[in-house]
Structure 1
Amino acid sequence: MTLPISAAAPPPAMQGPFADLRDMWNGSIAWVNSHWLQIAIAIGAGLVIYALLSLVRTFALKRAQAAPGQFTLTDIVGRVIHKTKSTVLAIVAIRMVAGYAQPPATILQIIQFVFTIAVALQVAIWAREIAIGLIQRRAADGHNETLTNAMGIIRLLISVALFAIAAIVILDNMGVNVTGLVAGLGIGGIAIGLAAQGIFSDLFASLSIIFDRPFRVGETIKYDTSTATVERIGLKSTRLRSVNGELLVISNTNLLSKEITNYAHLHRRRVQFSIGVIYQTSPAMLRALPALLEEQVKAAGHDFIRSSFTGFGPSSLDFELLFDVHADDYNIVAAARGDVAVRLFEAMTAAGYDFAYPTQTTFTAAPDGTMILPFAEDTATPKAKRTKE
């Protein structure tokens, strides 16, 4: 007896993924046959949108490239536009007109999926170019050797971070549970950071020096107890040439952990003189001395600050002189100090002032306590005199 075969049951060979493909194909053919006019209009609108987007990209790119200057905001915008892919523009155009043609749910899901991938990757590329452009703009020196060496590492770190975020966004839109993946990436990042803590510490310190610019190559700085000129800023260490000629190699982390004095930005320097005159100087001459000092400083072309009597020293009457020299170069300041010193010596000598130097006075007394001189003297002398040795 022959059993009848049900017409509703497909052959075993037609079941499984092939059946799904067949159903999608048949559904697509039916959709095209029933919506051919909407599809044609959507294709035309998509081509127009793609052409407009391409025209806007070309126009903006030409305007950005025509603007003068490197690492400006306009230059960064031009680099971002240059990285915009034509494929992404086409996918955006398709996504914008897909709803009008009323495609089947499967096709719409495919379009949405491809659109999500393209936009996520494109945004990551844009963010990378913006971040790198702003870093180079902040450094403001495209020929900086340290920045050139560091850009490879910076680009790698930024790319890994941004594309990892893009991958998580894509997987999340696909319905994948990314909680475990995010936790794993966080733990892995912490482990890598702890393992390379010293390297990353010096690297970020180097970037801090480049961006914050506490000093530059060729400038003279004071670090700790050393005064030196910056020869090279590296990724891990900075090389300084001390005033005595020694080469100092200091890690960037240690360099920034202590106070740094930068003499390159000192547009004026204050010079101080301590002047001592003898105790035999008359009160009138003491009162006239500050004006004499001020006159000589102004005659040398410098800014007089103050001059005053400061105290009674062991062997001198002490005066203080302060004035400013407007110069960046320390050699000019040293020459100005010497010039003013010679002027003061000449003027004070001509005015009758005597510079004090360490002296000692000895008094000799007789057995009855009377002060006498230590050498023979005429007995008619009414009182003892002091002698200086």
Structure 2
Amino acid sequence: MLLLVVAAVERTVRHLIAMQMKARNDEEAGLGWWPLFLDALSRPLSLFIRVYGIYWALSPILSTFESSKAYAVIHRMAGKAADIGGTIALFWFVYRFIHVVDMQLRRWANSRKNSIDDMLVPLVGKIFRVFVIVIGGIMTVQNLTGIEIGPLIASLGIGGLAIALAGKDSIANFLGSLTILLDKPFQVGERIAIDKHEGFVEDVGFRSTRIRTLSGHLVSIPNEKIINSTLENIGRRPYIRWHTNLTLTYGTPAEKVERAVRIAREILENHEGMRPEYPPRVHFNAFNDWSLNLSIFAWYHPADHWKFQEWVQKTCLEIMRRFEAEGIEFAFPTQTVYQYNLDGRDAEAPDRPARISLGSRQ
């Protein structure tokens, strides 16, 4: 009968909490902290009521064995089980409540323009979760064994030092995460390149930073390695530099080479994404083994990769059309091989050397 009362109380409490959550959700569209608080409270409170309710309901039954020698042992074990269940329920609620606070802090961080908040808030939430798990575990073990854990930990001495030395990499990675937060070489969402990895930062944790590469893979890099490596923050570049070479055939007259330079300069003059302080540069700058080289430098603002690619495509197509209209030919890698007899003359045409042209495209 008493167990039925406990079950009824537990169901009633959960129903009241669910009704309160629904009412608050309808009023605040789920954005307030109160529904989240009630959600965090409901399941741990249900566990708490069940554990101590069952203990309370079984107490009259246990009292009938009061004269038995096993009564003290059973009563003590039942009380200890109830205490362990209550401790677990309490720390479960605190753990879930930290999630509520974490969500509210994330909303606050998103409303600010301070990039450090976006990384600091999740890290603080993780620190508190680990702290709750450790303290909850210690208290549970203490209730289970009856041993005072505090003095035991304090007496570890050399063993504690050994554990610290064994975990020096973890400590170094944790300090690395703090260095990232203070130095701010990047923020969550920015595109970075480190070693052979390039992608967008998804999370900064205790041990590692997670990067989503351009191929879709999730890469975890230890924080100690990040702070001790050369890191390129692609997301903070003010522009994208475009450098390309236009190769013309060696048979192109000087006048047409000059015309090709003028055409390229006309196409790039006041181009899309140009700033006055970064004008494009076009020069005839080299005699290659198989071509005459025109070097082009241009700077595109802002540093939007896909808009930049669209602009490069339009520019390249316009250069091709203009060169075709002017009869300016692009070169491709070729070799000209001269063959001579031992006396230095072509056997079939003594008056001129034999010439064979071999061509290949890249």
What's the TM-score, normalizing by structure 2?
A: 0.52
Does 1:216 pair with 2:205? no
Q: Give the CA deviation at 1:149.
A: 2.3
Does 1:358 pair with 2:329? no
Does 1:275 pair with 2:251? no
- d(CA) in 1 for partners of 2:317 and 2:270? 12
Describe the shift of the 1:142–1:330 C-alpha distance in structure 2 as closer, same or farther (beyond 3 A). closer
Structure 2 match to 1:146: 122
Does 1:292 pair with 2:263? yes
Where do 1:8-87 residues align within 5 Å? none
CA displacement 1:42-85 (0-9 Å, x = unmatched): xxxxxxxxxxxxxxxxxxxxxxxxxxxxxxxxxxxxxxxxxxxx
Amino acid at match of 1:308: H
Structure 1 match to 2:217: 246
CA displacement 1:109-144 (0-9 Å, x = unmatched): xxxxxxxxxxxxxxxxxxxxxxxxxxx998652685
Corresponding residue pairs, total: 218
1:337 aligned residue (289, 302, 312) = 312
Amino acid at match of 2:311: A
Q: Give the CA deviation at 1:243.
A: 1.6
Note if contact 1:363-1:372 (Cα within 8 Å) is conserved in structure 2. Answer: no
- d(CA) in 2 for partners of 1:145 and 1:329? 29
Q: Give the CA deviation at 1:209.
A: 1.4
Note if contact 1:229-1:240 (Cα within 8 Å) is conserved in structure 2. Answer: yes
When Rg is computed on C-alpha atoms for both structures, the one with the higher figure is 1
CA displacement 1:289-342 (0-9 Å, x = unmatched): 322211111264244331112221121111210000002321122222222211
Does 1:225 pair with 2:201? no
- d(CA) in 2 for partners of 1:227 and 1:143? 19
Note if contact 2:238-2:301 (Cα within 8 Å) is conserved in structure 1. Answer: yes
Q: State the secondary structure of the residue aligned to 1:141.
A: helix
CA displacement 1:248-301 (0-9 Å, x = unmatched): 111111121101111111121110011110000101122233222111112642
1:325 aligned residue (289, 292, 300) = 300
- d(CA) in 1 for partners of 2:290 and 2:248? 9
Amino acid at match of 1:198: D
Describe the shift of the 1:142–1:312 C-alpha distance in structure 2 as closer, same or farther (beyond 3 A). closer
- d(CA) in 2 for partners of 1:272 and 1:255? 30
Q: Give the CA deviation at 1:364.
A: 4.4
Describe the shift of the 1:142–1:242 C-alpha distance in structure 2 as closer, same or farther (beyond 3 A). closer
Structure 2 match to 1:257: 228
Describe the shift of the 1:328–1:299 C-alpha distance in structure 2 as closer, same or farther (beyond 3 A). closer
- d(CA) in 1 for partners of 2:258 and 2:346? 33
- d(CA) in 2 for partners of 1:140 and 1:250? 19
- d(CA) in 2 for partners of 1:300 and 1:320? 17
- d(CA) in 2 for partners of 1:242 and 1:139? 21
- d(CA) in 2 for partners of 1:247 and 1:142? 20
Q: Which moved more, 1:225-234 or 1:196-205?
A: 196-205
Query: Mind listing any 5+ residue stretches in structure 2 that lack a counterpart?
Result: 1-108, 133-153
Q: Give the CA deviation at 1:356.
A: 0.3
The alignment yields a C-alpha RMSD, in angstroms, of: 3.5
Note if contact 2:248-2:328 (Cα within 8 Å) is conserved in structure 1. Answer: yes
Q: State the secondary structure of the residue aligned to 1:199.
A: helix
- d(CA) in 2 for partners of 1:308 and 1:373? 44
Q: State the secondary structure of the residue aligned to 1:354.
A: coil
Note if contact 2:194-2:229 (Cα within 8 Å) is conserved in structure 1. Answer: yes
Where do 1:109-188 residues align within 5 Å? 140-141=116-117, 144-149=120-125, 152=128
What's the TM-score, normalizing by structure 1?
A: 0.49
Note if contact 2:273-2:302 (Cα within 8 Å) is conserved in structure 1. Answer: no
Structure 1 match to 2:143: none
Q: Give the CA deviation at 1:145.
A: 4.5
- d(CA) in 1 for partners of 2:318 and 2:207? 50
Structure 2 match to 1:305: 280
CA displacement 1:214-233 (0-9 Å, x = unmatched): 11111111011211211111
